Amino acid sequence: MFKKVLIANRGEIALRIIRACRELGLKTVAIYSEADKESLHLRYANECYCVGPAQPEQSYLNIEKIIQTAKNFGCEAIHPGYGFLAQISSFAKACESSEIEFIGPSSGALKKTGSKIGAREIVASVGVPVIPGSTEAVEDEDAVMEVAEKVGYPVLIKAVYGGGGRGMRIANSKSDIRQAMELARLEADFAFGNSKVYVEKLLVKPRHIEFQLLADKKGNIVHLGERDCSIQRRYQKLIEETPSPIMTDELRRTMAEVAIRAAKVVNYTNAGTVEFLVNKEKDFFFLEMNTRLQVEHLITEMVTGVDIVKEQIKIAAGEELAYKQDDLLVRGHAINCRINCEDPCNDFVPCPGTVTRYHAPGGYGIRVDSALYTGYAIPVFYDSLIAKLAAWGVDRSEAIQRMKNALDEYEIAGIETTIPFHKKIINDECFKRGEVDTSFVQERIGDLLAPETIESEKAAALSAVLVAYLTKNKKGLAVIPQRTTRRTSTWRIGRR
C-alpha cells in the first residue's frame, strides 16, 4: 500500500478522497490554485502546495507542475478525482513514466476509450450494441447528410473527444446541419482542444443507464449495479438514482454482462462506468465509457456498502478485489441531487459568490458531500457544482420522502442555488411514478419553473399587510412601491 497520495483536484471531491486516504492510514498532499487558497480540503490534507494561478490550464491542468509536486513531496500515487485530468491519457502516461501510480485506468485504456468513435468500434467488435452512426469523424456537411440519410433524422452531432454533454448539437432536418455542426465544433474545440465531431442517430426519449464497475489488475471485474441518470438538462445530469425504476432482474443481468464485456476488451482496471441509452422497448445501446470516478458514486456506495474511492486506491496499489459478484447485494434505494450555484429562474446562469449562511441537512439515510462553509467565497473559474445531496430509503418512496425533507432543511444563503428546482422535480407526480426520460426536464421546464402557489393563509396575511400599507398612505390611495432593479426570484417565497 502507498504511504502518501497527491490529490490532483479541488473542492468536495478532493475532500472526499482525503477522507478515504485517512481511513486507509495514508498521508495526503493537496494542490490548489491561487483562487482556492481558502478551499476546505486544504484544512484536512497533511501538506498543501499552490500549483499556479486561478486559470485551470495554469494550475489544475498543468501536468508538468503536478508531476513535479508529487515528486517533491515523495508521493507514490496521484488521484485525479473527476474532471480536469481524470480522463487524459497523457497525464496517466506522465505518471507511469515518472513511476508514480495513477489511481485510475492505464494510459492505454484511456487512449482506447478517449475517442468515442474508437470506443464504439472496439466494443462493437465483441457484440456490444451501439447506436447507428458514422464510423469516423465527419469533415463537412455532405458527410453528415450522408449518415443522416442512412440512419434517419433526427441525428446528434457529437464531439469525438471529451464528455459532460459538451460539443453536442441536434439536427432535426437537412436545414439544421450547418449550424449544428458549427456549434458542436466550436464548443468541442473550446472545451477539449479538438474540434472533431461524428454523427449518431438520436434516440427519442431514452433512459440514460450506467453500470458501475470495479476491475483489479488480476483480471477480476465486478459490477455494483446500475444508476438511472435520465434527469438531465442540456446533457448535464441533475438527479441520479439506484436502482433504476425500469430495471428487471433479466435486463440487469444482460446489461451488466455487456458492460463487463466492454470493459474487458479495453483491458480496463480501477473504477469506471459503461453508459447506455435504453428505449421504451428496453433495447439498450452503448453510449460511452466514463473512465473515472463518477460524481454520483455516493448513491452506489449507499446501497452496496462498498467505498468506491477506497477500492480505487487498493486496486491501484495492486490489491485483488476482496469479493466476488455473488457477494455484492443491493439494499434499498438511493437518490442523488447535484446542487449547483446557478439561478434556475435566469436560464441557470452560474451565480458564484460568498456563502453567508450554510446549514447541511441530516438524519438517517442522508449524506452530503460538499466543501462549502459559512464565509466561503466560491471562485468564478470552475464548475458550478457545490454539493451532492443523497438520500437512502428501504424503497424508492422512502428515499424520495427523505430527499424532500433534506432539500427543505438545506440552507445555503448568499448565492442562488438549484435546490428549489430539485424540490420541484422531487415533488413532480411523473417523477414520483418513475415516468422519466432524458427529455423530462426540457419538456416540463415551464411547469417546473412556474411560480409557487401561495397558500390561502399566506395570501390572507399578505392581503392584511397590503390593506394596512394602503390605509397608512393617504387614505387608501394605491401607492405601490417602486420595483427594485434586481429581478426577484419566485423561489424566495418561504426560504430562510
pLDDT digits (tens, 9 = 90+) for 424-458: 999 999 999 999 999 999 998 888 887 654 444 45
Which residues are tagged catalytic?
Answer: 292
Give the domain-ending residue among 201, 219, 254. 201
Mark whether 229 and 352 lie in a shared domain: yes
- The closest alpha carbon to 212, from 296, 128, 140, 135, belongs to 296
Q: What is this structure's pTM? A: 0.87
CB neighbours of residue 109 within 10 Å: 22
Mark whether 190 and 285 lie in a shared domain: no
CATH code at position 81: 3.40.50.20
* CA distance readout (Å), 313 to 200, 308, 327, 386, 423: 36, 9, 20, 24, 35
Tell me which of 27-41, 291-305, 448-462, 482-496 is least confident: 482-496
**C-alpha span between 42 and 45 (Å, rounded):** 6
Residue 34 or 455, more confident: 34
Q: What is the pLDDT of residue 481?
A: 37
Query: Residues 6 or more apart from 61 whose CB is under 8 A from it?
Result: 84, 85
pLDDT at 323 over 60: yes
pLDDT at 35 over 80: yes
- Output DSSP code: residue 449: T
pLDDT at 161 over 90: no
Residue 225 domain flag = yes
- Grid cell listed for 39: 478551499
- Grid cell listed for 104: 485510475
* Band of residue 162 on the pLDDT scale cut at 50, 70, 90: confident
Could you tell me the residue range of the domain that residue 492 belongs to? 457-496
CB neighbours of residue 245 within 10 Å: 15
When divided into structural domains, the chain yields a total of 4
Mark whether 315 and 429 lie in a shared domain: yes
Residue 122 domain flag = no
First to last CA, the chain: 47
* Band of residue 165 on the pLDDT scale cut at 50, 70, 90: confident
- Tracing cell 462549502 back to the chain, one arrives at 372
Mark whether 432 and 307 lie in a shared domain: yes
**C-alpha span between 341 and 419 (Å, rounded):** 9
Q: Which DSSP helix (H) or strand (E) runs through 147?
A: helix 141-151
- The closest alpha carbon to 388, from 57, 11, 99, belongs to 11
- The closest alpha carbon to 83, from 338, 342, 306, belongs to 338
Helical residues (DSSP H) of 161-239, grouped into ranges: 177-192
Do the beta carbons of residue 191 and residue 183 sit within 8 Å? Answer: no
| Dihedrals phi, psi of 411, to nearest 5 degrees | -120, 115
Residue 482 domain flag = yes
Burial class (CB in 10 A: 0-12, 13-18, 19+), 249: exposed
pLDDT at 276 over 70: yes
342-343 and 207-215 beta bridge pairing: unpaired
Give the domain-ending residue among 201, 221, 255. 201
Do the beta carbons of residue 300 and residue 308 sit within 8 Å? Answer: yes
Mark whether 42 and 137 lie in a shared domain: no
Helix, strand, or coil (residue 221)? strand
- The closest alpha carbon to 202, from 161, 232, 172, 228, belongs to 172
Helix, strand, or coil (residue 282)? coil
Mark whether 359 and 374 lie in a shared domain: yes
* Band of residue 423 on the pLDDT scale cut at 50, 70, 90: very high
Residue 112 domain flag = no
Residue 272 domain flag = yes
pLDDT at 467 over 80: no
Query: Residues 6 or more apart from 250 whose CB is under 8 A from it?
Result: none
Residue 41 domain flag = yes
- The closest alpha carbon to 296, from 256, 341, 366, 241, belongs to 241
Q: What is the pLDDT of residue 475?
A: 46
pLDDT at 487 over 70: no
Q: Which DSSP helix (H) or strand (E) runs through 109?
A: helix 107-114
CA torsion angle 162 166 167 173 (round to 10): 130
For 347-359, b/e burial (b = at least 16 CB within 10 A) is ebebbbeebeebe
Do the beta carbons of residue 73 and residue 4 sit within 8 Å? Answer: yes
Mark whether 417 and 437 lie in a shared domain: yes
Provide mean pLDDT across the span 286-295. 95
- The closest alpha carbon to 128, from 254, 252, 267, belongs to 254
CB neighbours of residue 490 within 10 Å: 12
Residue 118 domain flag = no
Mark whether 191 and 260 lie in a shared domain: no
Provide mean pLDDT across the span 316-333. 97
**C-alpha span between 289 and 358 (Å, rounded):** 36
Query: Residues 6 or more apart from 77 whose CB is under 8 A from it?
Result: 2, 4, 5, 6, 100, 101, 102, 103, 313, 316, 317
CATH code at position 162: 3.30.1490.20
Mark whether 229 and 169 lie in a shared domain: no
pLDDT at 319 over 90: yes
Burial class (CB in 10 A: 0-12, 13-18, 19+), 165: middle
Q: Determine the residue type at 355.
A: V
**C-alpha span between 87 and 110 (Å, rounded):** 6
- The closest alpha carbon to 88, from 113, 66, 71, belongs to 113
Residue 35 domain flag = yes
What percent of the chain lies above the pLDDT cut of 90? Answer: 84
Give the domain-ending residue among 170, 201, 232. 201
pLDDT, one tens digit per residue, over 393-414 is: 999 999 999 999 999 999 999 9
Mark whether 262 and 357 lie in a shared domain: yes
Mark whether 393 and 462 lie in a shared domain: no
Mark whether 41 and 170 lie in a shared domain: no
Q: Which DSSP helix (H) or strand (E) runs through 462?
A: helix 456-472
